[in-house]
Amino acid sequence: MKQEPASSTAAPRRRAGRPRSGVLDRELIARAALKLVVEGGYSTLTMSALAKSLSVSPSALYNHVESKQEIMQWIQEIVMDGVDSTVFETLSLDEALTAWAVTYRDIFAGHAPLIPLIAVLPVSGSPRTLEMYEKVAAGFTRAGWRQEDIIPAIVALESFIFGSALDATAPLDIFDPGENAGSIPNFEGALEAQRATGRNSADAAFHAGLRAIVNGLMATSRTT
């Protein structure tokens, strides 16, 4: 925030290069927050718990962070780093999209509370996220897509991925009709048939849907 052009958010810095007295900084806070989340889920991520895990008082955090939301964004950036977008450099577009989507969804299934946040957050705050988009866009371009069709395709895929990540956190018996059984024969039949396959229905849906949307997008790009 002082003289570097890139760092967008409050990073403590002083004239000399060396770190100063403070125990805290952005990296430490972000890592501690992520650790808390990984170990105990998002409900355990409170400012007090975070402060305690850093052996500091809650108010001390506010010298480095604007709000809890900002910490969530930091976590999001770290998590997003786990998404493999190098596949676009080695695989064909449809294969790359599939591989990318799989890691994307798997990772965010463990971070569902971030999803409503990301979906609405300006990407400008996340350089690393932008790099991912660049690689994905490059993949489309290389495959000969019309420029104006690329963003909608990416957004559509992401919407599907986020929705699927949310869905992946649902209980297995989410569709159990309970006392309403009997009045919904078609649905119950379908449910039973799907159960009989032994596959997890969230996974089956994700893979079937991913195949459909990727194939569908490829077909569309040739048609229009």
Partner DNA sequence: GTTCTAAATGAATGTCGTTCATTTACTAGA
Partner DNA sequence: TCTAGTAAATGAACGACATTCATTTAGAAC
Question: Segment 158-197, which members bind a copy of itself (CB under 8 A)?
Answer: 158-164, 166-167, 169-171, 173-180, 183-187, 189-194, 196-197
**Shortest CB 54 distance to a copy of itself, Å:** 28
Are 138 and 198 a contacting pair, CB within 8 Å? Answer: no
Residues from 127 through 146 that contact a copy of itself (CB under 8 A): 127, 130-131, 133-134, 136-138, 140-141, 146
49/138 with CB nearer DNA: 49
> Cα separation of 210 and 122, whole Å?
25
Q: Which amino acid is at 155?
A: V
Sign for the pseudo-dihedral over CA of 211, 216, 221, 222: positive
Quote the longest CA-to-CA distance of the chain: 74
**Shortest CB 20 distance to a copy of itself, Å:** 26
**Shortest CB 60 distance to a copy of itself, Å:** 28
Question: Any contact of residue 141 with DNA (CB under 7 A)?
Answer: no
Question: Any contact of residue 60 with DNA (CB under 7 A)?
Answer: yes
Question: Any contact of residue 116 with a copy of itself (CB under 8 A)?
Answer: yes
Contacts of 27 (CB under 8 A, 6+ apart): none
Sign for the pseudo-dihedral over CA of 100, 79, 45, 125: negative
Question: Any contact of residue 180 with DNA (CB under 7 A)?
Answer: no
Question: Any contact of residue 63 with DNA (CB under 7 A)?
Answer: yes
> Cα separation of 224 and 208, whole Å?
24
Residues from 10 through 29 that contact DNA (CB under 7 A): 12, 14-16, 18, 20-25
Sign for the pseudo-dihedral over CA of 82, 83, 88, 92: positive
> Cα separation of 154 and 213, whole Å?
11
64/111 with CB nearer DNA: 64
Question: Any contact of residue 83 with DNA (CB under 7 A)?
Answer: no
- Residues in contact with DNA by CB under 7 A are 12, 14-16, 18, 20-25, 43, 45-49, 51, 55-60, 62-64, 67-69
